[in-house]
Amino acid sequence: EPEVTQTPSHQVTQMGQEVILRCVPISNHLYFYWYRQILGQKVEFLVSFYNNEISEKSEIFDDQFSVERPDGSNFTLKIRSTKLEDSAMYFCASSVSGTSGSVRDTQYFGPGTRLTVL
Amino acid sequence: AQSVTQLDSHVSVSEGTPVLLRCNYSSSYSPSLFWYVQHPNKGLQLLLKYTSAATLVKGINGFEAEFKKSETSFHLTKPSAHMSDAAEYFCVVNTGTASKLTFGTGTRLQVTL
């Protein structure tokens, strides 16, 4: 069964450094997402991406963050200058459709990348 | 605006007894509702989904949920708990054309012998 994959599983970085988190969505999916979960808190939406542009982003997704689909398979989240509060589990997800109510809007999640900022 | 409220942060049941995890939602539009499960140190796995086709939705591992519009609820149930069901469960809503999912705060299910 196809699944979303993410690399690395765990990333440790120094405050102020840039990190790139990588995701390979399910191959026939068109919509891609990033979420994060700070330890002990709920999962929060960061950004959605369709047709090579951001379709929606949350207030968390400030200028420090960017997303890119550099080729036909990868979807990346870049944090330019990491802060201690960026430490979290980052989940990538993908779906066929982005329209709620469609059977194709189910978002499938990857296993996550745990980012630790020291 | 959309939101979900999971009424219990922690539920403890004995193995073999029924499970009930409660969720209420708020939505301006007809919602899609989901339950996801997160086992320790694992990612998010879809348990089941409601998309208006049927109010009683069956998912994996014997779980099911019933959509009740009059009560704005989408409670998750299982007739008989298994030790492997111990995990964090998230009720999630998606409405309108906004593609983002809104998660509840989660319910930690503990299963004891």
C-alpha dihedral over B45, A57, A99, B73, to 10 degrees?
60
How far, CA to CA in Å, does B110 sit from each of A78, A108, B12, B44, B99? Answer: 36, 25, 5, 18, 32
pLDDT value of position B52: 75
Please report residues of B whose CB lies closer than 8 A to that of A109.
36, 43-46
Amino acid code (one letter) for B11: V
Residue of B nearest to A55 (CA): B99
> pLDDT tens-digit profile of A41-85?
889 999 999 989 998 899 999 999 999 998 878 999 999 999 999
pLDDT value of position A5: 93
CA atoms of A48 and B77, how far apart (whole Å): 31
Percent of chain A past pLDDT 70, that is, above it, reads 94
| B44–A91 C-beta distance less than 8 A | yes
Asked if B28 is an interface residue toward chain A (Cβ–Cβ < 8 A), one would say: no
**Confidence class for position A102, pLDDT limits 50, 70, 90:** low
| A99–B32 C-beta distance less than 8 A | no
Percent of chain B past pLDDT 70, that is, above it, reads 96
| A102–B97 C-beta distance less than 8 A | no
Average pLDDT, rounded, for chain A: 91
**Confidence class for position A109, pLDDT limits 50, 70, 90:** very high
Please report residues of B whose CB lies closer than 8 A to that of A101.
30, 32, 51-52
- Of the candidates B99, B104, B105, the beta carbon closest to that of A98 is on B99
> pLDDT tens-digit profile of B7-16?
999 999 999 9
Q: CB-hemisphere CA count at 13 Å for A74?
A: 11
**Confidence class for position A103, pLDDT limits 50, 70, 90:** low
- Of the candidates B49, B53, B90, the beta carbon closest to that of A43 is on B90
Asked if A106 is an interface residue toward chain B (Cβ–Cβ < 8 A), one would say: yes
Query: What's chain B's Rg over C-alpha atoms?
Result: 13
- Mean pLDDT computed over B51-58: 85
Average pLDDT, rounded, for chain B: 90
Asked if B36 is an interface residue toward chain A (Cβ–Cβ < 8 A), one would say: yes
Amino acid code (one letter) for B45: Q
> pLDDT tens-digit profile of A87-100?
999 999 998 876 65
